[in-house]
Each structure stands twice: as structure tokens, then as C-alpha cells.
Amino acid sequence: MDGVKVIEIKKSIFADNNEDADKLRAELKEHGTYLLNLMSSPGSGKTTTLIRTLNLLKDKLNIAVMEADIDSDVDAIKIKDATGIESIQLHTGGMCHLDAEMTRQGLDNVQLQGKDLVILENVGNLVCPAEFDTGAVRNAMILSVPEGYDKPLKYPLMFSVCDLVIVNKIDVMPYFDFDLDKCTEYVHMRNPKAQIIPICAKTGEGVDKVAEWLLDEVKNWKNK
Amino acid sequence: MDGVKVIEIKKSIFADNNEDADKLRAELKEHGTYLLNLMSSPGSGKTTTLIRTLNLLKDKLNIAVMEADIDSDVDAIKIKDATGIESIQLHTGGMCHLDAEMTRQGLDNVQLQGKDLVILENVGNLVCPAEFDTGAVRNAMILSVPEGYDKPLKYPLMFSVCDLVIVNKIDVMPYFDFDLDKCTEYVHMRNPKAQIIPICAKTGEGVDKVAEWLLDEVKNWKNK
């Protein structure tokens, strides 16, 4: 296994994160780089979903990945090994989220020239990451079937700030009492415009829809 | 469905949470009340596990439950309906964890006289709740099979502070690549003394072991 670059993220000093996030978004626009902030609970399948999606997109877009984690390096190594895509690991040193300044610390280690897309895999947590604008163009999240379809009721902010909700592990739906219609209803209570894409990252089912969504997003944003 | 008491938790003003937690523990000891802090990711099955455990213990111990959640009341109502046990809902108003002072705000609404056990179901989150001593005698956590057996590597603090790790949803182990031996090894890397109890909260398998552990804990602590 090849090593990956590991960045120890420091606490932010900026007082106004929203302002800083807008600034970062504008800088990324100048580079033509679209930033996606991907969030979820621990164990929802973020890394597997990402690997599948990246393999569908890597011939169409120039991509880099930043994997935020409290401690380990396993995710960035997995991504690099499975896709060949530039992946760096961000260590938050116990911090439960990333804000715009922390995201910038990661981006300082990415070659942005010519990069169409950077995906930030945020810390596994449905609470804190939702509170901080990272400077991304869009937020997406993964809800896995075993977590239950009632999660939009319990984590309202997370579902309010996400434009895409990927429902993962649909292969085990028969073993869990997961009601996709109810889930859709609850997601739309929080954000009526949110798109919902059911997938099985393990088999790849539905991942083409995620790749299409992302490709459209990047193209539309470049032409804006 | 019957209503339950809902407490809106305010932000703490205490500077030293550890000191405050020790003070709360001493006060609870005077009442003879054992406090358990139960943590996990969203959707790991905390509430179902709790209902099963409470139904095994409610004739042996005088118990109350505090359900912490960012927003909804569904868990406290479920617990009360399924067990008849006094349950109150704590709303954290977006806060991602409970500290000792916030726990105390909840306990102010519990009749402690004669209460053997209070169980605090913390906010669903593997990061922040681990950082704050709530004043509990012990921390326990639930890791569900679909989350993956590598979680002790990724959320080191959570597994370091827990004395009991309940591995839930073992009925779906064949559908996930979950290695219980590796999981045990990783948990013990973080806390060599941690007990691990595999269960299926849905069918009740193994929950008697959790009830036994808790009954022993309460008895030993009373006799200390």
C-alpha cells in the first residue's frame, strides 16, 4: 500500500466562517474547481460510494479527494489504491467538523490548476459538520438503510443543508424496516429541493445516477 | 400515545466540566442512584436495545430514562409506551453532546429519591459526546454491525472512554463483512478492560447479558 499525504489540521482563527466560506468559493471558481462536501454517519459507506463514483468520473473530470478523519489514514489510502486519484488525508485532531478555513488548509495541499472537482469527505457525524459552511458549491450526504428512515426527523439541520441525499445499502432493505417513501417525505420536509438517489455501493447499483448528478453539477457551475 | 416531559437544555456556564462531573457523581451516590451514559452513532439501535434491557430490569430496579436528542420527542415516547418507565426527553437545541451541567438540568426533572438507575441516552454521535464527562458512573456504547468493525480505529476516544461495547444487529452479520474477532482486537487496543457483548436488539438475543452487566454494576456500586 502506497502512502498518502497526511495534513494535520489546525483550529480556525477566522471569526466569520460564512464570509470565509464565500471567499473560498470565489477563489475556487477562479480556478474552475467545483468543491463537493460529502457528509454522513460513521459506517454509512462514504468511502465505498466515493470509489465507485470516482471510477465512473475519472476519465471525464480531473479530480482530487480530501478525506477528513479524526485519526486514521485508511480512507485516503483506500481511495488512492482503488481509483488512482490524488487523495490526501486530513487529520482533525479530535475536532468533529471542518469549517472553511480548515478546508482551505487541506486545499493548500491540492494542485488546483486544471482540477475540475475536489470532493471533501467530512468527519463521520450527522450533527456538527452540518453547522459549518466549508466553502463547497454543494453539500451531499449519505443515509444508509440500517440507520433508519426517520433520521431526517432527528437530524433536521443536516438534511436541510444537503442538496443530494444518497440512500445507500438498499440491498439490505428487506432485513430492515426501511420505508423509502416515508424517508423521501421526511427529507423533503427539511429541504423540498433535495434529490434522493437510492444506491448499493457494494454492487454499484444506482451509482451511475450519482455520477451523472455530479457531472451535471460541475458542468453547470463552470458555465455559470 | 402519551406525552412525555420535554426539557430544553441550556448551554453550560461551568468552566471545569471534569470537576462538575465529579460533583454530580458524588451527589448521585448520596441518592444511591447509578447513572449510565449510553452513546452511539445515529441508527445503531440505542432505543430498541434500551427497551429490551429495561423490560428485563424493571422489576428488579427503580429506573428512569433521559433521552437526549437535538429535536424530536419520538424516543422518550417510545420508551415510555414500551416499558412504562419514567422517560423524559432532553432537547439540546442543536448541541452535539451533553456535559455534566446539561445532564444535571435533565436530572433536576427526575425523582431521584429511591431511584437505583438513571440511563442517559446521549446524542447520536461518535465524536463529541466522548469528550465530555456527564457525571455517569460508566460509559457504554453501541456499535451496530452495518457500521463496520473498523470503527475503533476511526473514533479512538469514544472506544477509550467506554467500559461496555454492545455490538448490535448481529442477525445481519452474514450480509456485511463484519469480523467480530478483529472488532474485539480493535476495541481492546483502545480500552483493554472494555467488555464486549454481541446482541440482536430486534429479537432480544444477548440482551440478557447486557441486563446482567448493568444489574451487577448497580449492585457493586451501591456497596462501594
Q: Nearest CA to CA, how far is B151 from chain A (Å)?
A: 8
Across the interface, whether the CB atoms of A43 and B70 are under 8 A apart is answered no
Q: Which helix (H) or strand (E) holds A89?
A: strand A86-91
- Closest by CA position to B206, among listed B215, B214, B196, B198: B198
Distance CA B56, CA B208 (A): 7
Q: Nearest CA to CA, how far is A104 from chain B (Å)?
A: 22
Across the interface, whether the CB atoms of A74 and B42 are under 8 A apart is answered no
**Burial degree of B220 (CB within 10 A; 0-12, 13-18, 19+):** exposed
ipTM score above 0.85? no
Number of Cβ within 10 Å of residue B8's Cβ equals 10
pLDDT at residue B172 above 80?
A: yes
Across the interface, whether the CB atoms of A147 and B41 are under 8 A apart is answered yes
Can you state the angle between helices B74-83 and B46-57, rounded to 10 degrees?
30
Strands A5-8 and A63-69: unpaired
Question: Residues B112-135: pLDDT tens digits?
Answer: 999 999 999 999 889 999 999 999
A71 and A81 in contact (C-beta within 8 Å)?
A: no
Distance CA B134, CA B35 (A): 9
Number of Cβ within 10 Å of residue B157's Cβ equals 17
The letter for the amino acid at B209 is K
The domain made up of B5-10+17-216 has a fold known as Rossmann fold (3.40.50)
C-alpha torsion sign, points B28, B31, B34, B35 = negative
Q: Which of B72, B156, B169 sits opposite A154 (nearest CB)?
A: B72
Q: Facing residues of B91 across strands?
A: B8, B69
Q: Which of A125, A155, A175 sits opposite B172 (nearest CB)?
A: A175
C-alpha torsion sign, points A80, A83, A85, A89 = negative
A100 and A129 in contact (C-beta within 8 Å)?
A: no
Q: Which residues of A touch B94 (CB under 8 A)?
A: 127, 131, 157
Across the interface, whether the CB atoms of B126 and A125 are under 8 A apart is answered yes
Residue-wise pLDDT tens for chain A (224 aa)?
456 677 777 776 667 899 999 999 999 999 999 999 999 998 899 999 999 999 999 999 999 999 998 777 778 889 999 999 999 999 887 788 899 999 999 999 999 999 999 999 999 889 999 999 999 999 999 999 999 999 999 899 999 999 999 999 999 998 898 999 999 999 999 999 999 999 999 999 999 999 999 999 999 998 88
A41 and A144 in contact (C-beta within 8 Å)?
A: yes
Across the interface, whether the CB atoms of B154 and A124 are under 8 A apart is answered yes
* Span B183-209, average pLDDT: 97
Q: B49 — contact with chain A (CB < 8 Å)? A: no
Q: Nearest CA to CA, how far is B189 from chain A (Å)?
A: 14
Mean confidence (pLDDT) of chain B = 92
Smallest CA–CA distance from B75 into chain A, residue:
A154
Smallest CA–CA distance from B69 into chain A, residue:
A154
CATH of domain A5-222: 3.40.50.300
